[in-house]
Amino acid sequence: MEGIYATAAIWLGLAVLATIVAYHLRISIALVEICVGVGAAALAERFLGPGALGSNLEWLRFLASAGAVMLTFLAGAELDPTVISSKKKEVFVVGLVGFMAPFLGCAASARFLLHWSTQASWLAGVALSTTSMAVVYAVLLETGFNKTEFGKGILGACFINDLGTVIALGILFAPFSSRTVFFVFASIVVLALFPFATSLLTRVYGYRTAAIRAKWINLVLFGLGALALWSGSEAVLPAYVAGMLLAKFAAREEHWVRRMRTLTVGFLTPFYFLRAGTLVSLPALIAAPTVLLFLLVSKVISKVFGLFPIIGVFRKEPSEQWYYTLMMSTGLTFGSISALYGFSHSIITRDQYSYLVAAVIASAVIPTLVAGLLFLPKHLLKAPIQQKDPKKAFATRALVAEGGIDEE
């Protein structure tokens, strides 16, 4: 047991380090955690041997997965149904193009320029077609865009983009079986009753120290996650839909949402983002950096050329167009999941897996950094976020993200 506590302490120490670095650099904590994970894994492997950080320990993988599930749920809960309904054309068009452009572009590049097999090329297209709901939501939460119609539109488009990725993975590779049918049917029934049951439990048992709402929501998310994994799908997909269904409930229960954010951002997501970084093998990438660079450039270019003119139809301000496009160019959760699925089922080799995961993680870091440093549409942010003192503004955003203060 002491080994588990020691490993957890090391990982949380890395999370604290990442938070300090993010504060001074004034960039997303999630991105810094990924980079810290890459560096920590390289140092640990160099001096202590492979697996020294325990990235593949079952309990740590569970915490990382739980972080992704909870963050995805919160991202769905941030969506305002009224805003999404008024922006449904934008959300569906941007999301669909955001999936199709890199899916076809990256698959063609891997097949005809890297000379990968047909199956491996399609897998590369799927893995690189994604956006990262976790990274995008974390960034929007820190900047304050999660409360704006601009940010809610981005989140909606991300969902449609990733939904296309999941469907493509299922059609091309995942077996369709009776388990899939049972999972879909059970999810429809549970999610249809979810808002009503949550409101009922809140009305009868809520506002007590027992925190029944948090327990109930975790029960539903983990139960659906178990069914998803059992059927061959992924746990984060029903979590996002569940969050969307509770968007109106979350809007009424702001204090509860902040407490859920504190648990998620303060404890669970560091394991997710740090572990994503530890999966990258620097020696393999150093041996063939051009493959990584090629995959990354293929994804970003196909996203930009596909999305920028489409987003320009809905957004006329250049900074908004570029920020929107670059946020949609990120990738992490479903990209790494797709790559791992391909490797586990012998669709791609270990080297191909390393290149894809590294390209996916790089796409979570580089477009987001460029967007935040060069194209942040500050005119859309509320006054408390636009303070003259950047350190004070960052501190305000951090407290908001952790549920310490109100944004108003």
Listed by start position, the domains of the chain span 2-174+233-401
pLDDT band at 382 (very low <50, low <70, confident <90, very high): low
The reported pLDDT for the residue numbered 401 is: 38
Q: In the structure, what pLDDT confidence band is assigned to residue 322 with cuts at 50, 70 and 90?
A: very high
Which one-letter DSSP state was computed for residue 381? S
Q: What is the dihedral of CA 143, 146, 151, 152, to 10 degrees?
A: 170
The 8-class DSSP code of residue 266 comes to I
**d(Cα 106, Cα 100) in Å, to the nearest integer?**
10
With vertex at residue 266, the alpha carbon angle to CA 260 and CA 270, rounded to the nearest 5 degrees, is: 120
- Give me the percent of the chain exceeding a pLDDT of 70: 91
Options 2.60.120.620, 1.20.1530.20, 1.10.940.10, 3.10.20.30; CATH for 2-174+233-401 is 1.20.1530.20
Q: Please tell me the least confidently modeled range out of 75-84, 173-182, 208-217, 272-281.
A: 75-84
Please measure the distance between the N-terminal and C-terminal CA atoms of the chain and give it in whole angstroms. 44
pTM value is 0.75
Q: What is the pLDDT of residues 365-380, one digit of tens each?
A: 889 889 988 999 988 8
Residue 174: pLDDT band by 50, 70, 90 thresholds?
A: low
What mean pLDDT comes out for the span 113-140? 90
How many other CB atoms are found less than 10 A from the CB of residue 144? 21
pLDDT of residue 20: 93
396: pLDDT strictly greater than 60: no
Q: Measured between alpha carbons, how far is 135 from 68 in angstroms, rounded to an integer?
A: 10
Q: CA 175, CA 79: separation in Å to the nearest integer?
A: 32
Identify the pLDDT of residue 146.
Answer: 83
What is the DSSP-derived secondary structure letter of residue 50? Answer: T
Q: What is the mean pLDDT of residues 112-123?
A: 94
Measuring CA to CA, which residue among 320, 268, 331 is closest to residue 74?
268
Q: How confident is the model at residue 237 (pLDDT cuts 50, 70, 90)?
A: confident
Q: Please state, in angstroms and rounded to a whole number, the distance separating the CA atoms of residues 354 and 360.
A: 10
* Per-residue burial over 96-124, b = 16 or more CB atoms within 10 Å of its CB, e = otherwise: bbbbbbbbebbbebbbeebebeeebbbbb
What residue type is assigned to position 284 of the chain?
A
Helix, strand, coil distribution of the chain in percent, nearest 5: 80, 0, 20
What pLDDT was estimated at residue 143?
85
Alpha carbon 244 to its chain centroid, in Å, reads 15
**pLDDT at site 18:** 92
- Classified as helix, coil or strand, 248 is helix
Contacts of 130 (CB under 8 A, 6+ apart): 161, 162, 165, 331, 332, 333, 334, 335, 338, 360
- Model pLDDT, residue 119: 94
Gyration radius of the chain over CA positions: 20
Q: What is the pLDDT of residue 209?
A: 65
Give the model's pLDDT for residue 399: 36
CA distance 369 to 35: 12
Q: Burial of 201 by CB count in 10 Å (0-12 exposed, 13-18 middle, 19+ buried)?
A: middle
d(CA 127, CA 173): 12
Assign 203 a pLDDT band (cuts: 50, 70, 90).
Answer: confident
Distance of alpha carbon 145 from alpha carbon 134, whole angstroms: 14
Q: The dihedral of CA 147, 273, 301, 91: what is its sign? A: negative
Checking if the pLDDT of 386 tops 60, the result is no
Indicate whether 403 pLDDT > 70: no
Tokens matching residue 315: 């957004």
Q: Is residue 229 pLDDT above 80, yes or no?
A: yes
Which stretch of 12-21, 165-174, 256-265 has the lowest confidence by average pLDDT?
165-174
Q: Is the pLDDT of residue 405 over 50?
A: no
- The predicted model gives 189-208 an average pLDDT of 87
What pLDDT was estimated at residue 111? 95
